[in-house]
Amino acid sequence: MIQTNWVVERLRQQWPDLEIAIEQIRTTGDQITHVPLTQIGGDGVFVTEIERALQERRIDLAVHSLKDLPTAQPDGLQVIVAGPREDVRDIFVSNQAFRIDNGRLQPADAESTQNPRIGTVSLRRGAQIREFYPGAQIVPLRGNVDTRLRKLESGGYDGIVVAAAGLHRMELHPQLAERLTYFPIEMMMPAPGQGALGLEIRNEPETQALLEPLRDVVVQAATSAERMFMRRLGAGCYLPIAAYAEVVEEDLVLRGLVISTDGQRSIRVRQSIRWSTEDGIARAELLGIQLAEQALDQGAQEIIQGSNMLREREQRRV
């Protein structure tokens, strides 16, 4: 709703005469909170019902966190990426006593810093934590940001990992300031699209023209590169894959990570192209594909296969 209100505000500024009504859609994914996402249909669970509403013309625009959108849209729908992009980093929120410093929980003399309990259901986050902190125990933790924070208060975790974007949008970071550690991007690579808004519409020129002023070509190019990297690797939210692209001086620089769920094996890749707005999005997508192929050349398939096997085992446990 916060994201939607923001988009509505921007649209009103742009088109004062436009009539806008907000339609709140609760998806199956929002309501099932006690089962791993992999068991209720994977990464589409939050969006298929919303996309159906678009296709059936019950709504004309859907506002998504881009990172929750599958990397390919159904026929007849397209995504316009709005900027500016929120902080792309992940944050460690500790319970009262701990901070992460140089990749280690502090104070180092506390007993639980050997094997801290860290809450997340994200394979991407879990794998990266295990890589830089082999003693950490990854403890499942699902729900919206506020639910997860509440569960942190109830004990059982030394800390949890959330997206900075979520905390910032909800303006929860000031009151939590003393308990937050912002992970450097190299230490905790973000999910493709993290921090960006995806505006999904039908392929209709009139709606596209209304949304066009909200499009941020740089953010759309960067996130397209990230999303194509993930798509070329055959990935959804059940694969520990991370990517981050940004324009640095004249270049669009894309970094990618494929990591085994146990954090034991990882492949880090990086490529860049000259940035120009002309064909910028199409060229960024190619960059994503090329970087994925570089990762495949370095053996990414083996890591991905291992992760798929784990997921299938989990699904059979239902």
Ligand X SMILES: NCc1[nH]cc(CCC(=O)O)c1CC(=O)O
Q: Which parts of this chain interact with ligand X (CB under 6 A)? A: 65, 67-68, 145, 162-163, 165-166, 194-195
- Let me know if 90 is a catalytic residue: no
Find tokens 């690579």 and name the residue: 189
Compute the distance between CA of residue 171 and CA of residue 167 in angstroms, rounded to an integer. Answer: 6
How would you class 62 by CB atoms within 10 Å of its CB: exposed for 0-12, middle for 13-18, buried for 19 or more? buried
Closer residue to ligand X in complex, CB, 99/168: 168
**In the structure encoding, which two tokens stand for residue 272, read together?**
């860049």
Cβ neighbours of residue 78 closer than 8 Å, sequence gap 6 or more:
200, 201, 202, 203, 208
Q: How far is CA 215 from CA 78, 88, 164, 291, in A?
A: 12, 18, 22, 25
CB closer to ligand X, 113 vs 194: 194
Q: Within 13 Å, how many C-alpha atoms sit on residue 96's CB side?
A: 3
Least distance CB 12 / ligand X (angstroms):
22
Q: Which is nearer to ligand X, 68 or 293 (CB)?
A: 68
Q: Which of 60, 68, 216, 262 is catalytic?
A: 68
Measured over the CA atoms of residue 120, residue 126, residue 129 and residue 134, the dihedral's sign is: positive
Please give the Cα distance from 138 to 148 (Å, whole number).
Answer: 14
User: What's the closest the beta carbon of residue 195 comes to ligand X, in angstroms?
Assistant: 5
Nearer to ligand X, 113 or 122 (CB): 122
Indicate the length of the chain as a whole number.
318
Q: Which residues are catalytic?
A: 68
